[in-house]
Chain A
């Protein structure tokens, strides 16, 4: 293109749609129950699938007989996923599946499959590293500076141990898909965070050309990091469909399987020692941490978290393998754990030297990445102000003489959040209609709404005039929605494709306005000459000049060069404070108030941003107070693969939430940064610190259940 348009975001004070809070576009269709999720679909001729999963934590299939199941009337196909000889490494491993004309028949048939197992020894508990033996694998060692000398010189040393267990994603819509494999082509309607990447993955696993695979998904009932690839169930479902002559098959996990194999967040445990000065400066950090990602060994994230430039560090990380379902990315992978371990250890150091933890966090922000130091200091002050910290915070053990103690705790978070690689197409039609087409997905984060806002801003049109298409593999590919990378990508691709399309339109209409194309702008439903508002055409009149030719222009986000364009970037910071009351007789923790201060660069829709932060905190409060996947050492089974005993936070459990989006000009000018993950990071740490502050002793292990709280009060865990 001769003249590359200036893609920069309009200045803050000139924006008309960006920075405002129109309601989410898919709100009506969702709140009226009309939104069709892929688990709601029933294409013509669809069969219902059902799974048979391993009841054992570790076993070998010695024989499998599907003959009775196959003869059951209504059964159309049976697929064995674990033939004789397969060694299964956790409970819930896929053994076989059936497709039948009704769900009842499919389930009945799975019960008629005869499997014999040779049960093998299992190991499922990871809290105690000493018991892990050969299941523990070296996950990395790190030495920075001279920690021995720093500890020897330290004016104060604090020590503690901390733990954060495995939790599950517990998406309300389980994993699965409707899939149809006919000859050399596949139609699939998955529940996925990665519409654009799905066909490529499936193609490799089924040896069907990616171009013959059509993927479509309008709505997804939660992913949180757990729904990227076509999993085992897509392969099994596809084979069931093929064996049934190409009829579509619906195969979603039952809740128990969802909790066992649908993804989980790795655990992390650590023994941590800190040394430093009496003024609060930390000078030495020693950490020995371990955790499990299920059968796949995963070690905890690097510590100290955020305070990465600390001068003297000794770190040993260990990965423990257990016979349990495999971890998946969980809304800021590794970060909740690292934040918990780091922020609890710093709080313990503050207590040791008798300082207010906010001051200790502020002082040690000097060790955060340079660009973020002042942001953290500002946010720590802001959060403290919103939480009434100065008035309400008391040193440990000074929180009243009654049985109910109030406490405050602080924690911090960092995240990248730059846009992924992606493309969008902007179309201007001669009748004035405008379309944006991009193969992304809206996880409920508001992607549809913010794309439409960016297009409306760029074209100078109302949002209602933009027609948006997303959610199929036939559109220009965007990326998977992970790493909070979607908003940066789609805002950039929409902006660039729209500006590129406008540039073409300007070429056509410039002569009739007696101006050069680059002198034109699209504002308020008109195309006009910059600086001469009376030299203008209505949008409709301008588009009519296209005759019968449509404009269709692409826009691309290239992560390497995106930062230079200024449209999206990375590096979000956040500070959160929990205010809790703890009943020291029952051990029950109640959230009074929860404050979050969050930066995410330029905010396209503050209301939707606030909803994201609310959601992240609420999910985090569930993990801080209730959630834990509990394994039985004897049988190796998950004891709570349901929603009764795997307890999510309810509407009464969350207290009052206060969210402050840090939309200052210095943040805005950095461009768009993702938000799905950053505010989900520090909740366990803030709540854990608040509980500890309330009752006067460290409760080392999340969740803050009555059991853990009372044990700490009684000195049962040291």
Chain B
């Protein structure tokens, strides 16, 4: 095997912690979702050896620090769902295709199935649970409700977060923008007609809110 080919392989993390079962990160979908996660992971690898057993970590979720102990191979989606009971985001493809696991990390929408929990430390993580307080609905959630943009609803939390991230970056989208910007999320029940309308409604309302606020 030529050395050139070797150098094209992803750089292994220096820490040598276990990434057992972690063959993820390829095929990041189109649209609003961030890229460059692999580089971020590699750069964030701590010099000290961690794992393969569980290690204590701190995540900053919805403005609050939470402590948990997970193996370094645990993804953010599994940390949220299995360790923190934050089950709004769903694990569906587990391979960065469907967007059901979408959260907003450091201001960017990301697939939580493709981020390691330990690498999410030190970043502000917004999940659907933090979108609104009490029983009030965030304008994006309300727009989904108003436009019947959910059926079984399993894709919905991921879609809502992707829409929120999309509108943050594109405050005045056209319908064409919506079609391209939300290509990174999939719905099996076929709620796209409602979602198209919901994004436009939410964008309008959120702009109004900023102006009035």
Point out residues on A near B: beta carbons under 8 Å.
Answer: 23-24, 26-28, 30-37, 39-40, 42, 48, 102-104, 107-108, 170-174, 219-222, 224, 254-255, 443-445, 607-608, 611-612, 614-619, 642-644, 648-652, 654, 657
Q: Kindly supply a per-residue 1/0 record for chain B positions 71-99, scoring 1 wherever the CB is within 8 Å of any chain A CB and 0 otherwise.
A: 10110001001100101111011110110
The answer to whether B78 and A103 have CB atoms under 8 Å apart is yes
The answer to whether B148 and A24 have CB atoms under 8 Å apart is yes
Q: Chain A contacts of B154 at CB under 8 A?
A: 37, 171-173, 221-222
Q: Does B115 contact A (CB under 8 A)?
A: no
When A104-B73, A172-B92, A643-B97 are in contact, do A219 and B153 touch as well, CB less than 8 Å?
yes
Which of A31, A39, A103, A642 interacts with B93 by CB under 8 Å?
A642
Majority-rule SS of A interface residues: loop
When A643-B95, A652-B183 are in contact, do A28 and B141 touch as well, CB less than 8 Å?
yes
Which of B153, B179, B195 interacts with A26 by CB under 8 Å?
B153
The answer to whether A444 and B189 have CB atoms under 8 Å apart is yes
Q: Chain B contacts of A649 at CB under 8 A?
A: 190
Within the complex, the shortest CB–CB distance from A350 to chain B, in Å, comes to 30
Jot down 16 A-B pairs with beta carbons below 8 A, ordered by A.
A28-B137, A30-B153, A31-B140, A32-B131, A103-B78, A221-B90, A221-B153, A255-B93, A255-B95, A444-B150, A611-B193, A611-B194, A612-B151, A614-B194, A615-B190, A651-B178
CA distance A104 to B100 in the complex (A): 21
CA distance A39 to B196 in the complex (A): 28
Within the complex, the shortest CB–CB distance from B152 to chain A, in Å, comes to 3
In the complex, besides A170-B188, A173-B90, A619-B188, 6 extra interface pairs with C-beta distance below 8 angstroms are: A24-B148, A103-B82, A171-B154, A172-B186, A612-B151, A651-B185
The 8 A-B residue pairs with the shortest CB-CB distance in the complex, in nearest-first order: A33-B88, A618-B190, A221-B154, A30-B153, A444-B152, A615-B190, A33-B128, A444-B151
Q: Point out which of B71, B97, B144, B190 has the most chain A C-beta atoms below 10 A from its C-beta.
A: B190
Q: Chain A contacts of B89 at CB under 8 A?
A: 33
Interchain pairs with CB closer than 8 A, number: 181
When A32-B128, A32-B141 are in contact, do A219 and B186 touch as well, CB less than 8 Å?
no
The answer to whether A32 and B153 have CB atoms under 8 Å apart is no
The answer to whether A651 and B73 have CB atoms under 8 Å apart is no
Residue in chain B with minimal CB distance to A169: B188
Which of B21, B81, B90 interacts with A172 by CB under 8 Å?
B90
Within the complex, the shortest CB–CB distance from B168 to chain A, in Å, comes to 18
Which of B95, B131, B193 interacts with A614 by CB under 8 Å?
B193
Measured as residues with beta carbon below 8 angstroms from the partner, the interface class of chain B is 35 or more
The answer to whether A619 and B189 have CB atoms under 8 Å apart is yes
Residue in chain A with minimal CB distance to B87: A40
Residue in chain B with minimal CB distance to A254: B94
The answer to whether B195 and A651 have CB atoms under 8 Å apart is yes
Q: Does B132 contact A (CB under 8 A)?
A: yes
CA distance A443 to B154 in the complex (A): 11
CA distance A443 to B185 in the complex (A): 20
Q: Does B204 contact A (CB under 8 A)?
A: no
Q: Chain B contacts of A33 at CB under 8 A?
A: 87-89, 127-129, 131, 156-157, 160
CA distance A567 to B151 in the complex (A): 25
CA distance A35 to B196 in the complex (A): 22
Q: Does B27 contact A (CB under 8 A)?
A: yes
Q: Does B182 contact A (CB under 8 A)?
A: yes
Q: Chain B contacts of A644 at CB under 8 A?
A: 27, 93, 95, 97
Residue in chain B with minimal CB distance to A656: B193
Q: Does B17 contact A (CB under 8 A)?
A: no
Within the complex, the shortest CB–CB distance from B197 to chain A, in Å, comes to 11
CA distance A23 to B144 in the complex (A): 10
The answer to whether B145 and A36 have CB atoms under 8 Å apart is no
The answer to whether B88 and A34 have CB atoms under 8 Å apart is yes
Q: Chain A contacts of B180 at CB under 8 A?
A: 652
The answer to whether B190 and A35 have CB atoms under 8 Å apart is no
CA distance A222 to B191 in the complex (A): 12
Within the complex, the shortest CB–CB distance from B195 to chain A, in Å, comes to 6
Which of A27, A172, A255, A615 interacts with B145 by CB under 8 Å?
A27
CA distance A608 to B149 in the complex (A): 10
The answer to whether B192 and A654 have CB atoms under 8 Å apart is yes
CA distance A254 to B93 in the complex (A): 8
The answer to whether B82 and A36 have CB atoms under 8 Å apart is no
Q: Does B146 contact A (CB under 8 A)?
A: yes
Q: Point out which of B85, B154, B194, B196 has the most chain A C-beta atoms below 10 A from its C-beta.
A: B154
Which of A28, A612, A648 interacts with B188 by CB under 8 Å?
A648
The answer to whether B190 and A616 have CB atoms under 8 Å apart is yes
Residue in chain B with minimal CB distance to A105: B71
The answer to whether A30 and B179 have CB atoms under 8 Å apart is no
Among B120-170, those with CB < 8 Å from A are 127-129, 131-132, 135, 137-138, 140-142, 144-146, 148-157, 160
